[in-house]
Amino acid sequence: MILNGLDIGVLVAYTLILLFVAYWVSRDEKGHEKNANDYFLASKSLPWWAIGASLIAANISAEQIIGMSGSGFVIGMGIAAYELMAAITLIVIAKYFLPIFLAKGIYTMPQFLENRYDGRVRTIMAIFWRSIPL
């Protein structure tokens, strides 16, 4: 593959714009010390559309982009039931479970397990998740 001047120019411009946006978004107020609320919930300052886009982006992977498109071509629209169920599940979680988690200050799955059971369950989950080969 040979890149010409336009390709390199687009790549450099994209990289510079991305770095600028990342720097601009990550600016801090003077004297503000970051905590888990800042990291996991963006200080509760994001608009609804950004949170929704984040949920969709976290839910979509190469399996959906490539695999489900191919399966849809071969099998038909029946494969879309998988994604329809995922959308319904996300709505139920956002409507009923998310307010409870936020009210209790739960940001992560290990934190939920520790609050619901105890620290041993959180540790066991961490060991099992870490033992899965990457």
Give 10's pLDDT tier (boundaries 50, 70, 90): very high
Helix (H, G, I), strand (E, B) or coil at 122: helix
pLDDT tens by residue, 79-129 = 777 777 777 887 888 888 888 888 888 878 888 888 889 889 988 888 887
Which pTM value belongs to this model? 0.48
| Cβ–Cβ < 8 Å for 107, 95 | no
Q: Percent of the chain at pLDDT above 70?
A: 87
State the alpha helices, DSSP H only, in the chain.
Answer: 5-25, 36-41, 48-59, 62, 69-75, 80-92, 98-103, 109-116, 119-131
**Residue 132 CA to its chain's centroid (Å):** 20
Distance CA 110, CA 123 (A): 8
The one-letter code for the residue type at 82 is Y
